[in-house]
Amino acid sequence: MGFFSRLSNGWELAKTSLHIINQNRSLLLFPVFSSVSLILVLATFFGGGFFLFGDQIDRMMNDEQSSNILGIAVIFIYYLINFFLIVFFNSALIYCAVKILNGEETSLQEGFDFAFSRIGKIFGWSVLSATVGTLLQLLQNTGKIGEIVAGLIGLAWSVMTFFVVPVLIYEDKGVFESVKESGRLMKQKWGESLAANASFGVFHFLGILAAVGIGFFLMKVNAILAITIAVGIILLVSTVMSAARTVFVAAVYNHVSGRPTGEFDGRTLDRAFVQK
């Protein structure tokens, strides 16, 4: 399949995902809750943390060894909390999306209840993700070659773990087994790279472009109003695309598992990935 054929195929998948989100707008609340939580974590780390422990941090920063240890610890804890929140809300969203694809009714409360029932697995996966993220960050800090190597490893890791969250929360497997199963599904079914991501990216880019255009037009009226509306549109677009991508993951997992895929066409899902 050529590039433009894959792009067209991905475009249809993205439109289907967006259509499902439009029919079930409450799903957007999961990425909203996730984003708000991440902002609060960021504010806590770089605001409240230094306010409460500023003196201790200053003393440790004066010692090179302690400074390095502190830096690694902060990176790991920050990644751990962020991954935990992201995976928790994504788990709730995937659960609701799978129910919808199965033709069943669902609710936000059901999604949260399900995510809480998998809290141990979610934490385990978050620890592994934070460890990998920290190691990649340290590798990036070694220089240009380190940045390139870290980027390649990070890309391979993201592809290999594409199915981790649905496998982890739906199957009786541990964290490492889920990673292996995710990698096996990717290798067996569709190869090594995702074609649909390009189309999701196009939708995202068009949304941001529209926000910038509207903001530029409104600058003639009021600068604060223009910035506020532009930022609001960008946040809305990012939220919608985040939810749409998660619905796509749920649809692909359902397809792989032989379950209903709702409005998604099975043949289109088969072509969502580049064949090896």
| Count of domains for the chain | 1
Q: Does any domain span residue 69?
A: yes
CA 24/CA 219 separation, integer angstroms: 34
- Please give the residue range of the domain that contains residue 147: 3-270
CA 276/CA 255 separation, integer angstroms: 19
Count the alpha carbons within 13 Å of 87 in the hemisphere toward its beta carbon. 30
CA 57/CA 46 separation, integer angstroms: 12
Walk along the chain (276 residues) and give the pLDDT tens digit of each residue: 555 566 667 777 888 888 899 888 889 999 999 888 888 877 776 655 554 444 544 454 455 554 567 778 888 888 899 999 999 999 999 999 999 988 888 899 999 999 999 999 999 999 999 999 999 988 888 888 888 988 889 888 888 888 899 999 988 888 999 999 888 877 765 543 455 666 677 777 888 888 889 988 888 888 888 888 988 888 888 888 888 888 888 888 888 777 888 888 777 776 666 555
The pLDDT of residue 60: 45
Q: Does any domain span residue 206?
A: yes
Q: Does any domain span residue 276?
A: no
The pLDDT of residue 192: 39
Closest CA to 86 of 272, 203, 198, 249: 249
The pLDDT of residue 202: 76
Q: Does any domain span residue 275?
A: no
pTM, two decimal places: 0.80
Q: Does any domain span residue 57?
A: yes
The pLDDT of residue 132: 93
Q: Does any domain span residue 227?
A: yes
Q: Does any domain span residue 55?
A: yes
Q: Does any domain span residue 208?
A: yes
The pLDDT of residue 193: 46
Cβ atoms of 274 and 191 within 8 Å: the answer is yes
